[in-house]
Structure formats: C-alpha cells, structure tokens
A and B are shown apart, each in its own frame.
Chain A
Amino acid sequence: MDFTLLLFFLLAATAVATALGLLLSRNAVYAALFLVLNFATVAVFYLLLGAPFVAMTQVTVYAGAIMVLFLFVIMLLGAEKLPKGEALPWQRPLAIGAAVILFAEAVYLLVQRVRLTAALPDPGTWENSMESLRQMAGMLFTDYLLPFEVTSLLLLVAMIGAIVLTKGERAVRS
C-alpha cells in the first residue's frame, strides 16, 4: 500500500507538471507532447484504480491516435510558433473563473474524502481483468446502449462533416 501511495504522489506530480508545461510552453509541438505525457500519466492512474482495459484504451486512442493527428496538423500547417498576445481577449477571465470553480470542487471533495473512498471499488480485483472486460462489454451493450449509440452517431456526423468540407473544396478548384 505504501508503494502504491508513493507511486500515486509521483504520478500526481507528473500530471500537474505536464499540464503546466502544456499551458506555459510557447511552442505548439511541445504543448502537444506535454499533453501526450499527461495522457500517459492518466493511463497509469487507471491502472492503479484497477481498470487495465481503460488504461490501454486511453494510451491507444488518446495518446496514440488523437494526439498524433494533432501533431500532424500542427506540423503540416507550420503552426508550431504561437503568436504573441491574445487572440480571444475574453478567454483569460473565463478560464480563471472556471479554474476557481474547479479548485473549489476539488477542495470540497477532499474534505468529503472519507465518504468518497468508501464508495471506491477494491483495486485488488484488477488481476481478474478478462472478467471485468466481459462485464464492461456487457454493460456497454445493455445498460448504456443508448449513450453508446448516440456517441457513435455523433462521431459519424463529425466524419461526414469533414468529408463534405474537403469534397466541397475540391469541386471549387476544378
């Protein structure tokens, strides 16, 4: 347990540091790479919580596929140097407000910690993960079928939108 606690604090420090690095770096490529590190750290958090499937999916989908596309776009457009000054002047006050609210929530949860830890599942069950994988698949296709299908529809709409946009451009050119 002590080892797990130590690991947790180490990971938490890494997560915070990489998130700060993402916000503060003036080079978009570095910012994207910090985000990749952050996703990887979160994946290890999932492992500690006894959800290896979610951890691996986090790495494959977010750290792997999605962030690579981010990098791809940044490099293709040559947009790695961020411009000085603010593009959206109302963004900073809004972000500060949201951060204050989130921080208050975190403090509230920390105070309520005793009640919260009681509801967490036992992380010792992670060894039997094939069974948990089956359970998760079952839940996804029975109890959570509607959200699942709605999400897939959303992704489909986004995909069709992207195809329509690129097709239109080609028609104009020729």
Chain B
Amino acid sequence: MTLANVIEWLVKGLVWVLILLGGFAYLTYYERRALARIQVRVGPNRAGPWGLLQPIADAIKLIFKEEFMPARADKLLFTLAPIITLTPALVITAVVPFGPESASFQLFGRTITWYIADLNVGVLYIMSIASIAVYGIVLAGWSSNNKYATLGGLRSTAQMLSYELALGLSFIAVIVLANSTRLLDIVEAQKGMWFAVLQPVGFVIFLIATLAEVNRAPFDMPEAEQELAAGYHSEYGGMKFALLFMAEYDKMIAICTIAASLFLGGYREPWFLRDTVLGVDQTPWLGPLYVFIKVFILLFGMIWVRATWPRIRYDRLMAFGWKILLPLSLALVFLTSIGMLLAEQVNPLYQWGIPLASLAAGFIAILGMYQTLRRKEYARA
C-alpha cells in the first residue's frame, strides 16, 4: 500500500461521491417531472430552461432554513442520525465496476480502473453495508423524542430486517450463477446472458426487497403521512432534513447501480450486441454509458411504481415479506443450485431449466398470495 494508491482511492471516492450528490439533485428533478407527466401535470418548469435550475433553488432554500432542535431531543444522536443515514448510501457502491478492465486508462503513469475497490467478497460487502443502513433512520426517529417519529423509526427497522432476508437470498442465487462473490466476475459471467433472464423471479424479488430497504413507495411505511405525520423525519428541517432526503435518493441510485451490475450485466452490452461494434469488448469506453442507461431506466421504474401503486398496509407488508417472499427466495436458491449442478454435470442446456423453474415458482407464489393475502380474508378479521 503506497501513498499513490491512497491518493487514487481518495480521488476516485471523491469523484463518485460528487456524482452521487449531483445525481441526487437531478434525481429529484427527474422524479418530479416524471410524476407530473404521469399525473397529467407540468411539474417544475420555472427556474431556468425546462426548470433545470429547480434543484439548485431547492438546495439554496434548504441551506438558509433555520436549524431546529426539539427541546427534549437527544442532541448528539439527533445531529448524528442524518450523517449515519447518508454514509452507507455513499459507500455501498464502492465495489461496483463501471467499466471493463480493458477500458482503464493511463493517468500520471498509473493505470486507472473503472472501480473504486476490487473486493473478493464484494457481494457480502454490499450485504453488510445494507444491514448497517438501518441504524440512521431508527436513531433519527428515536432521538427526535416524538412518538410519531419513534414509531416511524421502529417500523422502518422491522421492515428492513424482514426484507433483508429475501434480499440476501436473491444475492445467493446470483453468487451461485456466477460462481463468485466478486462483482467484476459476476458482471463478466453475464457476457452470454443476463442473470435477469436466467433468474427472472429472483430479479423481481431483488427489486421488491430493495424498494422496501430504501423505504420507497409502496413500502414507505416509516413516513406514511396519514398515520405518522412525516414519520422518522417529522422533527427535521433545514440541512439535516436535506441529508435524510439525500440519503433516500442516493440509496435509490446505489440500489439501481447494484441491480444493474448483479442482474442486468453491469457495464456489459445487451447480450445480442456482443459481436457487433457496440460490444464492450470492441469499444470498451461504452461500458460506463451502459451502466448509466441501465440505472436511468431502473430509476424510472422506481418512480413509475411510486406514481401508480397505493401504499401497502403494515400487517400485509409483514405477511408478504415473511410468508411469500422468504419461502419463494429460498426455493429459488434451491432451484438455481440444482440447475447449475445439472448444467455442469450433465448438459449445459439444463441451464435453461432455471428460468422455467423460476417462473413456475413465481406462479405458485402468486397463487399462494391470492389464497392468503386476499383483501376479503383480511376484511373478515
């Protein structure tokens, strides 16, 4: 470990954090415009051309707002909580590669690669940072000394813990398919076919579980307005609120980057473009562009879900997580392993049994959902 190494990491980390912060500002703009479109409104269009300066105006407003502290709040934790919430969102993508090894370039005599850290336990790193991310929100809720905020924080804990299990199991399906926990290997293993195609239901489980992890609609229980005022950030204002807000949107970006790497081939081209000039092997610098396009589309998916789905009720949220998602993701790990074993030992064509079995399992899960989580069942209770 030399000084040059440390400087390289620092500069790369700084650049990525700045990208995330700028991405946060324009993700709010993107979301407001897209939501407005879906709801047949115009959205912010006054500040600058097409309202492009709106995020900057919002930032200035938040900076100049009064810093408010509830009288009987826990002052230390109240100040620390937004920082604890934001930090995991910023560091979780450190292991994601944004371009192939062949796209690395020379700068000051050093080879600069398109990832911050090349960790052999990359997937486990993502998992452990995701499990740490629970603290910020629960501490924000508790330290506010407000019953709505505390309830919101507790709800978020229970929800994130419950969906973390399904999330981890969907990671395991990916690890089995790629035969590695290193993200570069996982992306390269999707050269032939994306894992989203090989394990479609696993991809859907990942998306649902991550929506719950970042507390986005329809799983935004910790800030359900009708029940909890604003939930865990009821007492926050000014820059502290901006940090919590930033954490939510940076988590969205981070989750979409991870989803793109684990299931949609990361920086790899769509598989049908592999041998054309648009392939990453032919033109390496297209890699980061592919990541950006995939993240952009996934983010639109999240916004779309928010615009169209009502919030799920809390008891059904728990029932869905524990009774449907957890057994289904366990079954998927089992089916994926069997499929890979057959493909390795007998015939590579057995690999195509995995998506079929996965879809069958998903169908059975939907039937089970229809049996147990139906509106009528709950109305009677």
State the A residues within 8 Å of B (CB). Answer: 3, 29, 33, 36, 52-53, 56-57, 59-60, 63-65, 68-69, 71-72, 75-76, 127-130, 133
Contact = CB atoms under 8 A, between A and B. Distances in A.
Interface stretch (B24-32, B153-161, B246-254, B372-380): B153-161
Nearest to A69: B161
A130 B180 contact: yes
B21 interface: no
Contact of B131 (A65, A127, A130): A65
Given A56-B125, A60-B124, A60-B127, A130 B181 contact: yes
Given A3-B1, A68-B161, A133-B181, A63 B132 contact: yes
A25 B276 CA distance: 64
B131 A76 contact: no
Contact of B120 (A57, A65, A130): A130
The interface residues of chain B, by DSSP majority, are classed as: helix
A75 B121 contact: no
Given A72-B138, A127-B120, A130-B180, A59 B154 contact: no
B228 to A, nearest CB: 15
Contacts of B164: 64-65
Given A3-B1, A52-B120, A75 B134 contact: no
A165 B132 CA distance: 29
Contact of A75 (B150, B161, B182): B150
Given A52-B121, A65-B161, A127-B120, A75 B128 contact: no
B142 interface: yes
A122 to B, nearest CB: 17
A53 B158 contact: no
B371 to A, nearest CB: 22
Contact of A72 (B1, B119, B132, B158): B158
A8 to B, nearest CB: 15
A130 B182 contact: yes
B296 interface: no
Contacts of B120: 52, 127-130, 133
Nearest to B126: A56
B135 interface: yes
Nearest to A47: B121
Contacts of B182: 130
Interface in B145-168: 150, 153-154, 157-158, 161, 164
B121 A133 contact: yes
Contacts of B142: 29, 75
Contacts of A53: 121, 124
Interface in B74-100: 74, 77
A49 B181 CA distance: 20
B132 A59 contact: yes
Nearest to B157: A72
19 contacts: A3-B1, A29-B77, A52-B119, A56-B121, A56-B125, A56-B127, A57-B128, A59-B128, A63-B131, A64-B130, A68-B131, A68-B134, A68-B135, A72-B138, A75-B142, A127-B120, A128-B120, A130-B181, A133-B121
A130 B158 CA distance: 32
B154 A76 contact: yes
A65 B158 CA distance: 10
Given A72-B138, A133-B121, A133-B181, A56 B128 contact: yes
Interface in B184-213: none
B239 to A, nearest CB: 23
Given A29-B142, A68-B138, A130-B182, A75 B131 contact: no
B131 A64 contact: yes
Q: Counting chain B CB atoms within 10 Å of each CB, which of A64, A72, A76 scores highest?
A: A64
A60 B131 contact: yes
A98 to B, nearest CB: 30
A76 B128 CA distance: 24
B78 to A, nearest CB: 12
A36 B154 CA distance: 18
B154 A72 contact: yes
Contacts of A36: 135
Contacts of A52: 119-121, 124
Nearest to B180: A130
A128 B180 CA distance: 12
A53 B293 CA distance: 32
Interface string B103-127: 0000000000000000111001101
